[in-house]
Amino acid sequence: MTGLELRKRTQASRAGRPPRVDAGSIVDAAIAIGLSQVTLKAVAERLGVTAPALYRHVRNRDEIVKLAAIELALNRTQANGAGSGQHWSDLVKGCAHGMVELFVAEPQLICEVMNGTLGPDGEMDFVEQFLAAMAAHGFAPAESIRIHHAVAMLAIGAAVSAIAMKSGYAGGLSHEASIRKALTQRSREELPLIRSALPAYLHIDPLQWQESLDALVASIAARRGETAPGRSRIAGIGTITPEPGKQLPRTQKPTRSRTGKTRNQK
Check whether residue 69 and residue 90 sit in a common domain.
Answer: no
Domain boundary residue, one of 56, 79, 102 = 79
Q: Which of 152, 9, 153 is nearest to 67 (CA)?
A: 9
Check whether residue 2 and residue 125 sit in a common domain.
Answer: no
Which residues form the domain of 203? 82-240
Check whether residue 91 and residue 68 sit in a common domain.
Answer: no
Quick check: 36 pLDDT over 50? Answer: yes
Check whether residue 89 and residue 106 sit in a common domain.
Answer: yes
Q: Are 155 and 92 in contact (CB under 8 A)?
A: no
Q: How does residue 65 score in pLDDT terms, banded at 50, 70 and 90?
A: confident
Q: How does residue 124 score in pLDDT terms, banded at 50, 70 and 90?
A: confident
Domain boundary residue, one of 41, 63, 79 = 79
Q: Which helix (H) or strand (E) holds 251?
A: none
Question: HSE of 169 in the Cβ direction (CA atoms, 13 Å)?
Answer: 19
What is the predicted pLDDT for the residue at 227?
87
Check whether residue 8 and residue 40 sit in a common domain.
Answer: yes
- Give the global pTM: 0.66
Task: Give domain status of residue 260, yes or no.
Answer: no
What is the predicted pLDDT for the residue at 206?
75
Check whether residue 27 and residue 106 sit in a common domain.
Answer: no
Task: Give domain status of residue 245, yes or no.
Answer: no
φ, ψ at 17 (rounded to 5°): -95, 135
Residue 155 and residue 78: Cα distance in Å, rounded? 17
Task: Give domain status of residue 108, yes or no.
Answer: yes
Q: Are 35 and 86 in contact (CB under 8 A)?
A: no
Check whether residue 114 and residue 2 sit in a common domain.
Answer: no
Task: Give domain status of residue 32, yes or no.
Answer: yes
What is the predicted pLDDT for the residue at 11?
40
Task: Give domain status of residue 249, yes or no.
Answer: no
What is the predicted pLDDT for the residue at 12?
41
Q: Which of 92, 63, 114 is nearest to 221 (CA)?
A: 92
Q: Strand, coil or helix: what is 262?
A: strand
What is the predicted pLDDT for the residue at 6?
47
Helices (H), the chain: 23-33, 40-47, 51-54, 61-79, 88-105, 108-115, 119-135, 141-170, 175-184, 192-196, 198-202, 209-223
List beta partners, residue 17. 14
What lies within 8 Å, CB to CB, of 16 at 6+ separation is none
Most confident of 81-85, 117-121, 172-176, 240-244: 172-176
Angle at CA of residue 106, ends 104 and 111, nearest 5°: 100
What is the predicted pLDDT for the residue at 76?
63
- For range 105-134, the mean pLDDT: 79
Task: Give domain status of residue 253, yes or no.
Answer: no
Residue 63 and residue 65: Cα distance in Å, rounded? 5
Cβ atoms within 10 Å of 31's Cβ, excluding its own: 17
Most confident of 20-34, 63-77, 169-183: 20-34
Check whether residue 133 and residue 221 sit in a common domain.
Answer: yes
Domain boundary residue, one of 55, 79, 103 = 79
Check whether residue 89 and residue 71 sit in a common domain.
Answer: no
Task: Give domain status of residue 89, yes or no.
Answer: yes
The CATH number of whichever domain residue 46 belongs to comes to 1.10.10.60
Check whether residue 214 and residue 149 sit in a common domain.
Answer: yes
Task: Give domain status of residue 185, yes or no.
Answer: yes
Check whether residue 39 and residue 89 sit in a common domain.
Answer: no
Looking at the structure of the chain, the number of domains it has is 2
Most confident of 64-73, 151-160, 241-250: 151-160
Residue 95 and residue 150: Cα distance in Å, rounded? 11
Check whether residue 116 and residue 12 sit in a common domain.
Answer: no
